[in-house]
Structure 1
Amino acid sequence: MSGGVSNVTVENLLVWDSRRAVRIKTAPGRGGYVRDITYRNLTFDNVRVGIVIKTDYNEHPDEGYDPKALPALKGITFSGVHGQGVRVPVRIHGSEEIPVKNVTFWDMSVGTTYKKKHIFQCAFVQGRVIGSVFPAPCDNLDRYDEKGNLVKRSASQNVTDIDYDI
């Protein structure tokens, strides 16, 4: 992805018995952008990680890439996400040089199989949660009620709760 991906909608998706349900992956050296992506009406059944956004994938065909070409990730929305048997519902791993911006979670309820303090795993992500989202989302996301009123501003955009042992 050296050019860009934008204005994509993924909807009415059922993913079962999988390691990863949906993911966006990129790295320094890729350049370009991922923006205005919408995931709607997703159902996960027995998946290890439901949603993954990873900015340190680090696969390049050769050494001839520009490590200063940084991708931009923004405007990614997840609405109507449901399921059961999910070990980690969300893992967003942005970085200081490639933060993930303007991520929205809305109407999400995922039954988990792995009881850990931080089920949502986030690093260098900015965004919001609208209405009811289960399990509890990352502390670095702003909280809004169903009518779009700000309930709680995040304390930090750069908190990291990532645990890659899962």
Structure 2
Amino acid sequence: MSGGVSDVLVENALIWNSRRAVRIKTAPGRGGYVRNILYHNLTFDNLRVGIVIKTDYNEHPDSGYDPMARPALENITFAGIHGQLVRVPVRIEGSDEIPVKNVEFRDLSVGLSYKKKHVFQCSHVSGRVIGSVFPAPCMNLDLYDEAGRLVRQSVSSNASDIDYDF
């Protein structure tokens, strides 16, 4: 990943009986980028977490890495995501050093298996939700209607509603 990953399409997949369905993980010291990723037409069934983006994974192959090498995560789209029995449908953990930028959710509906206060969790993320998304998205994301009109602008991309007890 240190060199970068871009222009990836993942589509028409069923993920079931798993801890996680979609997972992007990185950490300070990795450098590179993850950008222009599209997840389309995914079905989740019986998962602990549906979508995870984590920027503090802190695993390195050796001690010779540059801790100041910061990866860039941007332009990641989730469209046509549906499913059932998911504890936490979305968990995006950016940080001050590595914010997650320009994330888009469109046509997402995931039934929950466990009632929690925060089931759509975000920290240090910016982007948008277009149209119908269930459960309710985090406040870090701008909300647009189906016609592309802004309904609610995000207050802060740095707000955190991560619930570590799941």
In the other structure, the counterpart of 1:72 is: 72
CA displacement 1:17-68 (0-9 Å, x = unmatched): 0000111000000000000000000100000000000000110011100000
Local SS of the residue matching 1:87 = strand
Give the aligned residue type for 2:53.
Answer: I
- Normalising by structure 2, report the TM-score: 0.99
Deviations 1:107-138 (A, max 9, x none): 00000011112111110000000000000000
Q: Which secondary structure state, in structure 1, belongs to the residue aligned with residue 160 of structure 2?
A: coil
Deviation at 1:89, TM superposition (A): 0.0
Measured after TM superposition, the shift of residue 93 of structure 1 is 0.2
For 1:35 and 1:7, how far apart are their aligned partners in 2?
Answer: 7
Q: Helix, strand or coil for the counterpart of 1:41? A: strand
- Name the structure 2 match of 1:151: 151
Distance in 1 separating the partners of 2:74 and 2:62: 27
Distance 1:71 1:14 in 2: 29
Distance 1:20 1:118 in 2: 17
- Name 1:115's counterpart in structure 2: 115
Q: Tell me which residue corresponds to 1:161.
A: 161
Residue number in structure 1 paired with 2:94 = 94
Task: Say whether residues 1:26 and 2:22 are aligned partners.
Answer: no
CA positional deviation for 1:156: 1.1
Q: Over the residues paired in the alignment, what is the CA RMSD in angstroms?
A: 0.5
Runs of 4+ with >4 A deviation: none
Aligned twin of 1:103 = 103
| CA distance in structure 1 between the partners assigned to 2:121 and 2:49 by the alignment | 10
Query: Partner of 1:139 in structure 2?
Result: 139
SS for the counterpart of 1:118 is coil
- 1:51 corresponds to which residue? 51
**What fraction of aligned residue pairs are identical, expressed as a percent?**
77
One-letter amino acid matched to 2:76? I
CA distance in 2, matches of 1:62, 1:33: 20
Letter in 1 for 2:20: R
Gap runs ≥5 in structure 2: none
Equivalent residue letter for 2:111 = G
Provide the secondary structure at the position in 1 that maps to 2:98: coil
2:127 and 2:118 map into 1 onto residues whose CA distance is 17
Q: Structure 1: give runs of 5+ residues left out of the alignment.
A: none
- Secondary structure of residue in 1 paired with 2:65: coil
